[in-house]
C-alpha cells in the first residue's frame, strides 16, 4: 500500500480503483502551491490534470515520491527532466481524449459550414431567416488537415465518410502511410492554396505558434473555412479576423484561443465565426478514460510491473555500462531529426566497440525518441516512440560491431540523407558529437547549434561569423572539419540562443554554402 494524493478532479471510478487496490488516497482538489508542498512531502504518488504544477521545487520537497500521474496528454506543467533525474516516473493518459477531440472538430466543421449556432440564435430570438443562413456542403470539397497525428487521422477518417478529398501537411508522415489513409501529402503552402476547408491538429510549440499567419492566409482559396480544435496561438488571430472581414476566409470555428478566456477578442463577435470554450476533451467518456487510465497506470507502477504510458524512464533500469550513453543516444536522434526537413524513410543505428557487447535496445529507443522529439511536436516517450515509428512508416535497423576504431565505444545514427556519430569521453562521461555527414568533429551537444556545410574554400568561416554577428548571436564554441575526400567542409557552432529561420535562410542562399541548419540537442 502506498499513499497517493489526488490534487485535481478525476473520475470517481479512478479514485475507487486506487482504493480498491489497497492504496491510501488523499483527495484535496486544487491546493495552493504552498499547500501542495505540504501535501506532497509524504506521498509516493500524485495525480494531477493541467492546473497543478510539479516543478523542481515540488519534486525536491517530495522525498518519497515515486510516480506523477497526469490525467490527460500534455506535460507542460511537469518538470519531466528533473523528475527523471530523481527517479520519479511520469505517466500520462495519451489516448484518453483523442476520440472526443476528433468528434468536436467534426462538430465545429459542420456547425460553421451550415451556420448552426447563428441560425439557432436567430430562431430562438423570434426570427425565421432561412435565406440568410445558406451554408455549403462538405461532399466533394477538399479538406486540408494540418497535422496527421492520432487526432488528425481520426478526423481524416470521418471526412472520408463525407466524401471529401483529403490532403495533409505533416513532414513526419511517410507518403506510403498517408496513401493508406486516403490522404495526399502536400507542403503547407500548397495545402492552403488547394483547400476548401482546413482543420488544424498540432500541439503548441515555438515552431507552431503563429504558423497560420497573414502571409499564409493571403495564399488561400477565397472563402476557405478554418477549424482549430487543437491549441490556441497556432493561428494569428488578428490575421484571421482581417481575413474574415475581407471575405478571404469564409468562416472559422474555434475551440481554442491564444488567451483563454478570449473575452475582448473581435473574433467572438464576427458573424462567420463559431466558438466553443475549449471543449475538445469535455465529454463524460474522455474524463472517465483519463481518470481510470491514470489510476490503472499507477497501480501497475506500484506493483513494479510494466507501465505502458510512462513518458520517462528510470536510469536504474539500464545497465551500468549503458546508462552514460543514454543522453548522447537521444542527442544524436535529435540532431539528425533537426538536420532533416521531413521524416526519413529509414534510420540505421550502429554500435561499435565495447558498447556493442551490451544490451543496446534502450539506446535505440533513446535515438528514436530524440528523432521524433525534434520533428513531431508530440509527447514522445521510450514507450510510444516505436509505435510512432510504425504509425508513420519509419523503418528501424540496428547493427553492432565489436571492432574498435578511433573510440572505445561509438554510436552512429544514419538516415538516407545524413549521418551523425557520438560517444562519451573522459572520467566524467562527457557526451561528444564526433562525426557529421562524413566530417570528423568533436563538439559537445548543445541546446542551440548551427550546422553549416560549405565548399572548402577561404572566407566561409568569416561569412558565418559576420551573419551571426549582425544578428546579435554569440558563438559559445565551434568545430570545423573538411571531408577526408576534400571539396567540402563542415562548421558546427554552439550559440547563446536559437538561430532564427531568417539567419539560416540567409546563410543557405550565400555563395558556397551547401546547407545551414538550426539544430537542438535538448528540450526547448
Give the residue numbers marked as catalytic: 231, 260, 278
Q: How far apart are CA 358 and CA 323, in angstroms?
A: 11
3-class DSSP assignment, residue 89: strand
Residue with grid cell 514507450, as numbered in its chain: 383
Residue closest to 439 by CA, chosen among 491, 512, 401: 491
Sign of CA pseudo-dihedral 282, 10, 87, 61: positive
Pairwise CA distance, residues 255 & 278, whole Å:
5
Grid cell listed for 490 = 563542415
Place of cell 543496446: 360
Residues in the chain: 524
Residue 433 to residue 398: CA distance in whole angstroms: 19
Helix ranges restricted to H, 247-322: 284-302
Residues 6+ apart with CB under 8 A from 336: 344, 347, 371, 374, 413, 414, 415, 418, 419, 420
| DSSP 3-state of 225 | strand
C-alpha cell at 154: 481520426
Considering only CA atoms, which of 196, 194, 192, 193 is closest in space to residue 163? 196
CA angle 295, 298, 301 (to 5 degrees): 155
List residues bridging with 353 in a β-sheet.
409
Enclosing H/E stretch for 368: helix 361-375
Which of 427, 491, 412 is CA-nearest to residue 454? 491
Decide: residue 48, CB within 10 A, 0-12 exposed, 13-18 middle, 19+ buried: buried
Q: What's the rounded Cα separation, in Å, for the pair 434 and 400?
A: 18
267 contact partners, CB below 8 Å, separation of at least 6: 237, 240, 241, 244, 252, 254, 257, 273, 275
Taken in order 106, 109, 111, 114, is the CA torsion positive or negative? negative
| DSSP for residue 500 | P
Distance CA 491, CA 507 (A): 12
Taking the C-alpha atoms of residue 299 and residue 301, their distance in angstroms, rounded to an integer, is 5
Q: What angle do CA 338, 344, 347 make, to 5 degrees?
A: 95
Q: How far is CA 263 from CA 242, 258, 259, 260, 396, in A?
A: 18, 11, 9, 8, 48
Amino acid at each position: 500500500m502506498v499513499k497517493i494524493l489526488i490534487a485535481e478532479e478525476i473520475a470517481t471510478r479512478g479514485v475507487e480503483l486506487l482504493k480498491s487496490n489497497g492504496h491510501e488516497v488523499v483527495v484535496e482538489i486544487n491546493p495552493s502551491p504552498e499547500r501542495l508542498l505540504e501535501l506532497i512531502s509524504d506521498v509516493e504518488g500524485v495525480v494531477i490534470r493541467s492546473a497543478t504544477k510539479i516543478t523542481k521545487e515540488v519534486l525536491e520537497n517530495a522525498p518519497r515520491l515515486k510516480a506523477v500521474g497526469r490525467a490527460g496528454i500534455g506535460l507542460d506543467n511537469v518538470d519531466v527532466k528533473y523528475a527523471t533525474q530523481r527517479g520519479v516516473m511520469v505517466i500520462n493518459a495519451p489516448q484518453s481524449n483523442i476520440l472526443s477531440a476528433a468528434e468536436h472538430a467534426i462538430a465545429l466543421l459542420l456547425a460553421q459550414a451550415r451556420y448552426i449556432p447563428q441560425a439557432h440564435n436567430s430562431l430562438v430570438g423570434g426570427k425565421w431567416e432561412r435565406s440568410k443562413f445558406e451554408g455549403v456542403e462538405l461532399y466533394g470539397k477538399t479538406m486540408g488537415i494540418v497535422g496527421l497525428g492520432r487526432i488528425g487521422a481520426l478526423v481524416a477518417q470521418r471526412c472520408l465518410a463525407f466524401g471529401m478529398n483529403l490532403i495533409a501537411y505533416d513532414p513526419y508522415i511517410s507518403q506510403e502511410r498517408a496513401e493508406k489513409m486516403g490522404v495526399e501529402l502536400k507542403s503547407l503552402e500548397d495545402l492552403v492554396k488547394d483547400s476548401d476547408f482546413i482543420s488544424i491538429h498540432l500541439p503548441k510549440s515555438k515552431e507552431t505558434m503563429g504558423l497560420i499567419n497573414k502571409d499564409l492566409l493571403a495564399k488561400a482559396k477565397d472563402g476557405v473555412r478554418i477549424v482549430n480544435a487543437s491549441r490556441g496561438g497556432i493561428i494569428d488571430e488578428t490575421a484571421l479576423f482581417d481575413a474574415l472581414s475581407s471575405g478571404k476566409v469564409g468562416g472559422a470555428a474555434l475551440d481554442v484561443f491564444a488567451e483563454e478566456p478570449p473575452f475582448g477578442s473581435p473574433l467572438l463577435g464576427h458573424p462567420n465565426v463559431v466558438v466553443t470554450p475549449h471543449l475538445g476533451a469535455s465529454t463524460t467518456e474522455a474524463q472517465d478514460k483519463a481518470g481510470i487510465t491514470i489510476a490503472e497506470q499507477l497501480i501497475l507502477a506500484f506493483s513494479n510491473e510494466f507501465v505502458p504510458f510512462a513518458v520517462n524512464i528510470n536510469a536504474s533500469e539500464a545497465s551500468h555500462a549503458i546508462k552514460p550513453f543514454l543522453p548522447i543516444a537521444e542527442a544524436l536522434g535529435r540532431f539528425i531529426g533537426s538536420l532533416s526537413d521531413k521524416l526519413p524513410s529509414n534510420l540505421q543505428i550502429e554500435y561499435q566497440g565495447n558498447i556493442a557487447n551490451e544490451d543496446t535496445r534502450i539506446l535505440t529507443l533513446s535515438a528514436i525518441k530524440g528523432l521524433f522529439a525534434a520533428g513531431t511536436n508530440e509527447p514522445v516517450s521510450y514507450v510510444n516512440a516505436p509505435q510512432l515509428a510504425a504509425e508513420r512508416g519509419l523503418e528501424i535497423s540496428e547493427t553492432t560491431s565489436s571492432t574498435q576504431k578511433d573510440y572505445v565505444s561509438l554510436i552512429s545514427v544514419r538516415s538516407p540523407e545524413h549521418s551523425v556519430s557520438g560517444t562519451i569521453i573522459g572520467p566524467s562521461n562527457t557526451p561528444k558529437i564526433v562525426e557529421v555527414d562524413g566530417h570528423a568533429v568533436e563538439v559537445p551537444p548543445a541546446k542551440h547549434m548551427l550546422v553549416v556545410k560549405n565548399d572548402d574554400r577561404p572566407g566561409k568561416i568569416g561569412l558565418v561569423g559576420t551573419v551571426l554577428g549582425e544578428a546579435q548571436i554569440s558563438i559559445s564554441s565551434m568545430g570545423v572539419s573538411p571531408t577526408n575526400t576534400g571539396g567540402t567542409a563542415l562548421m558546427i557552432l554552439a550559440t547563446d540562443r536559437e538561430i532564427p529561420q531568417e539567419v539560416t535562410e540567409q546563410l543557405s542562399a550565400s555563395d558556397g554554402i551547401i546547407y545551414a541548419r538550426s539544430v537542438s540537442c535538448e528540450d526547448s
